[in-house]
Structure 1
Amino acid sequence: MAGAAPTKISCQFPTSLESPRHIAVAESLGYDHAWLFDTPQQSPDVWMMLALAATHTERIGLGPGVLVPTLRHPMVNASGAAALSALAPGRVAVAFGTGFAGARAMGAEPSTWSYLRDYVRAFRALLRGETVDWDGGRMRMLHPGGHGPARPIEVPVLISALGPKGLAVAKDLADGLFTVNGETGFAKEFTWVALGVHGTVLAEGEELDSPRVRAAAGPGNALAYHAAYEFGGDVTALPAGKVWLDVVNRTPARERHLAVHDRHLVALNAADDAAWAAGSWAAIPTTTLTGSAAQLGERLAAFAEQGITEIAYQPTGPDIERELESFINLTSALFRS
């Protein structure tokens, strides 16, 4: 059952070479945790950037959000988590998911929930120092002194789950829930629920189709189109959705996923750009957390009432520092006054 934990304000980033610096800025502004995406098709290695962030920070929580089991052997992620724990003691958490951009952007199927269940069990057992059966062999973390921290290693695990199968796995194995797109229906069944959000705080009189909003909220808005396409939804039900789909369909079917996920959550790709010109920006108040300070305050308060204990905000565009500062100023007034 959910407790009455205060809402934490965290940040999330598509992993980039600038991620360590951005995380250091987030720490200086008072963010509680920083999550980095595990998207190797468009990002540097997530563990490498988290390790660099650990050496540039002292307080902020760190972790990958989310790891996709099919991308790495469980020993590789256990070793990465152990190393990060040594560099940032007490600050590390790890989130797992079946794989959206991390798998589909490479033309791969997401992990099954049964595979993810077995994977997370193996990952946690390895960190406890146990011997684990995996893929026909037996393994154990053998790191001697100076090569990794002594086992057991305590690393909280969150699981990204939207449906009943994922919910069952999260209840069985996780310390919390990592969710996106305003999916809050399961929140009160957990004591730790991180909700990933995208968007921007509008200045007075600022229009949704302005160049700044396009850069800061456009990629988050495009996520709705990418997700609807990948999960079999009706993209044409979204503003300018037919325009978006027509551009994607110009790419041969075998490589269409490349057209969908190009610049995913970083900038607008060709289809996103065409849709924006045709009016996709009209969906921004629904698809992202974008609005005036008063409007966003109401929505954030509603999330807290629904059981969300952590807001993980992704800043986007050319001025990441400005976006981070605007959001923390808003949320501090709401949750930390």
Structure 2
Amino acid sequence: MEVSCAFPTALDSPDHIALAERLGYARAWVYDTPQQSPDVWMTLALAAERTERIGLGPGVLVPSLRHPMVNAAATATLAELAPGRVAVAFGTGFTGRRAMGYRAITWSYMDSYIRTFRALLRGEAVEWEGARMQMLHPDGHAPARPVDVPVLVSALGPKGHEVTRRVGDGLFVTLQLPEFMREYAWVPYLVWGTVLDDDETVDSEHARLSGGPGWALAYHGAYEFGGPAAVRELPGGAAWMEAVERTPEDTRHLAVHEGHCVELNEADQAAWKAGGHTMLRDVTVSGTRDEVRRRLDDFAEQGVTEIVFQPCGPDTRAELERFLEAANS
């Protein structure tokens, strides 16, 4: 199983990707979350200039945020800057849309978008929104078509599975492991967490800062997919809801997703202090080095081919080093 990393796109992400390459990570994925991040394509272009080996890609793009021509042109540009190193993953927009108050896109839209995107990279004329178009880049403006870049799709349910089978080269997995992932030869699994010292408790300051942002996704996801009742069933869930509900309903999604994958927001802090930290090991890949190693072995047995670790907290180098040491132990 390959060991890769991911970053919630930030101004220092190109430097962190260069560091990940020096440490030995196979690939670096960065998030397409414009409501809290700099542009994903600018970030990847800078990373391409600072690296030579590590794979690069957006993980995941949200189709509705850009016209397919825009993403095709950006993909072609990155493929020229980092030949043989680029892959692109698409998702329906857990944070990239919900943090702006929208619901996820439909799978029929995803299917149509990816087909159009791939056809453009092949150099074909396509129809989108009632108009015919084609990549017309002359020499020196983009690599010659076709541009061959692997495409992965983030899917958990049967509709997403069918779309991925039709238009994808692999399955990009987050939050949970679907039963059908064994049908794919390439399955990156995005995880959060931290490697704890042997005598370290799950309520330590290090655990909160480095494991907490991934742990908080349990509340964000429960709220988005199950509503307040689902959140209240979690340890500390009542405290989390109490904090969120202090925000007016029309802007509540802002309170839910603030700090997403980066730091604990007000509601997350309340839940952590109210006992939510007790489920850190259950909802993230957190534990001692040996415990993390056993979790990775379990993932591989279930069909994961690439573990993708997102470091959190103030010391990115230390988190990347600790995780890689555990993965290779």
TM range (shorter): over 0.9
Q: 2 CA distance for matches of 1:249 and 1:186? A: 37
Partner in structure 2 of residue 130 of structure 1: 124
Q: Give, in angstroms, the shift of residue 212 of structure 1.
A: 0.8
Residues 172 and 188 in structure 2, CA contact (< 8 A), matched pair in contact too? yes
Q: Supply the distance in 2 between the matched residues of 1:207 and 1:199 (Cα, whole angstroms).
A: 14
Among candidates 242, 251, 256, match of residue 255 of structure 1: 251
| Whole-Å separation in 2 of the counterparts to 1:249 and 1:181 | 24
Alignment partner of 1:225: what SS?
helix
Aligned counterparts, 1:175-214, within 5 A: 175-214=169-208
Which residue in 1 is equivalent to 2:46?
Answer: 52
Identical residues among aligned pairs (%) = 60
Matches within 5 A, 1:270-281: 270-281=266-277
1:10 to 1, 4, 8: 4
1:3 paired residue number: none
Q: Which residue of 1 aligns with 2:265?
A: 269
Aligned partner of 1:306 among 280, 297, 302: 302
Q: In angstroms, what is the RMSD of aligned CA positions?
A: 0.7
Alignment partner, residue 71 of structure 1: 65
Query: Once the 2 structures are TM-superposed, how far is the Cα of residue 180 of structure 1 from its aligned partner?
Result: 1.1
Moved more, 32-41 or 291-300: 291-300
User: Quick one: which of 224, 231, 237 aligns to 2:225?
Assistant: 231
Say if 1:158 and 1:175, in contact at 8 Å, map to a contact too.
yes
Instruction: Provide the residue aligned with 2:98 in structure 1.
Output: 104
C-alpha distance after superposition, 1:33-70 (max 9, x if no partner): 00000000000000000000000000000000000011
- Partner AA of 2:88 in structure 1: V
2:314 match: 318
Q: Return the letter of the residue paired with 2:318.
A: R
Give the corresponding residue for 1:165: 159
* C-alpha distance in structure 2 between counterparts of 1:195 and 1:185, whole Å: 13
Residue ranges of structure 1 left out of the alignment (5+ in a row): 1-6
CA distance in 1, matches of 2:303, 2:98: 30
* Residue 284 (1) aligns with residue 280 (2): yes
Matched, 1:153 2:147: yes
Q: TM-score, normalised by structure 2?
A: 0.98
AA of the residue aligned to 1:288: T
Please state how far the C-alpha of 1:120 moved relative to its aligned partner.
Answer: 0.2
TM-score by length of 1: 0.96
Report deviation, 1:184.
4.0
Q: Could you list the per-position Cα deviations for residues 154-180 of structure 1 after superposition, in whole angstroms to 9, with x for gaps in the alignment?
A: 010000000000000001110000011
Displacement of 1:107: 0.5
Once residues 45 and 151 of structure 2 are traced to their aligned partners in structure 1, the CA distance between those partners, rounded to angstroms, is: 18
After superposition, give the CA deviation of every residue in 1:51-90 in whole Å (9 maximum; x if it has no partner): 0000000000000000001101000100110000000000
Asked if 1 retains the 8 angstrom alpha-carbon contact of 2:156 and 2:176, the reply is: no
> Which residue is equivalent to 1:4?
none
Q: 3-state DSSP class of the match of 1:186?
A: helix
Give the superposition deviation at 1:268: 0.4
Letter in 2 for 1:129: G
